[in-house]
Chains A and B, each alone.
Chain A
């Protein structure tokens, strides 16, 4: 009887370990490149305008990293949360060509965290640029953010241990609103409980195992 019980416990433990092992897959880069359009007549500014619009349809904050470069980048996906936050990125390059330009599209996504592949993203961005039909992309799966003190999210109201008049409201989407009116962002590596608080620069903080305290440049306690 005792042996049977022990066997059952071992089987259960092994099953749980297999589930846990399978649940965490290493992320990798999925790249798409090669789509290019040759536009015989047109300006680089026109290319830039269309590139910004196309990137902004699928990703956040399209911009030209270096002014005048006619190279554009954006990161997403739109609506990304947790693992899918910043799991997609794309660039559009406008190169001069006689009286027109050549435009190329390069996309990279983090698999399996992004809800769609790099090819699908690049095709839609290119089609938006050229006015062709676009195929709707899946949106990130809504995640129910854990509440209270936990080690999966920093969402919640935090008060400074050093200055009780200072507090931070950390939102589930990674945004921070500090009591001094300054905005920032947070990221939590749940495997090491190491957080990056972007608030007047990037600050590395350690989350306590009970999910209640952050220690580092800013020592904070969460309201549970």
Chain B
């Protein structure tokens, strides 16, 4: 009886282990560069503040890679693993600034990188005074 009970436990552990082992779906790395935002007449500090706010709103995470660098990083974890990362880079340009967006995600479980970058761009641009539109040209 005792052995039968122990055997059932071991079988249960075996089944659970197999289930857990097969649950992580094979994922692929997805990385994109989204169109830059070009903002006239605003300061670098404004860009940094917007970058931090956008990452916090979309990814609930925002860290500046080097104090004062204007290079902001957001990280999203799913089940403890890094599933998505977003970067907003601020660069002064002609009395205003340019903000560059890069996203890298693990799909699945993360969403597509272009979808994430789209959200970050929208959050960054929301209510941006002096925003002249997304631009890839005119450097």
Contacts and interface: CB of A to CB of B under 8 A. Distances in A.
Partners in one complex: yes
A199 B46 CA distance: 46
A209 interface: no
B18 to A, nearest CB: 6
Contacts of B10: 10, 13-14
A109 B14 CA distance: 32
Contacts of B25: 189, 191-192
Given A66-B136, A68-B136, A27 B22 contact: no
Instruction: Select the residue from B11, B29, B33, B73 with max chain A CB neighbours within 10 A.
Output: B29
B3 A3 contact: yes
Interface residues of A, number: 53
Interface size class of B (residues with CB under 8 A): 35 or more
B102 A21 contact: no
A87 to B, nearest CB: 6
A143 to B, nearest CB: 15
A25 B83 contact: no
Given A6-B3, A34-B71, A73-B33, A94 B14 contact: no
Contact of B22 (A3, A18, A191): A191
A71 interface: yes
B17 A108 contact: no
Nearest to B28: A86
B24 A25 contact: yes
B13 interface: yes
B69 interface: yes
A182 interface: no
Given A3-B3, A21-B17, A29 B71 contact: no
Interface of A: 3, 6-7, 10, 13-14, 17-18, 20-21, 23-31, 33-34, 36, 44, 65-66, 68-71, 73, 75, 83, 86-89, 91, 93-97, 102, 104, 106, 108-110, 187, 189-192
Given A69-B33, A95-B100, 19 more contacts: A10-B6, A14-B17, A21-B18, A26-B79, A31-B73, A31-B82, A65-B32, A68-B137, A73-B32, A73-B33, A75-B31, A83-B26, A88-B29, A91-B31, A102-B91, A108-B29, A110-B27, A110-B106, A191-B26
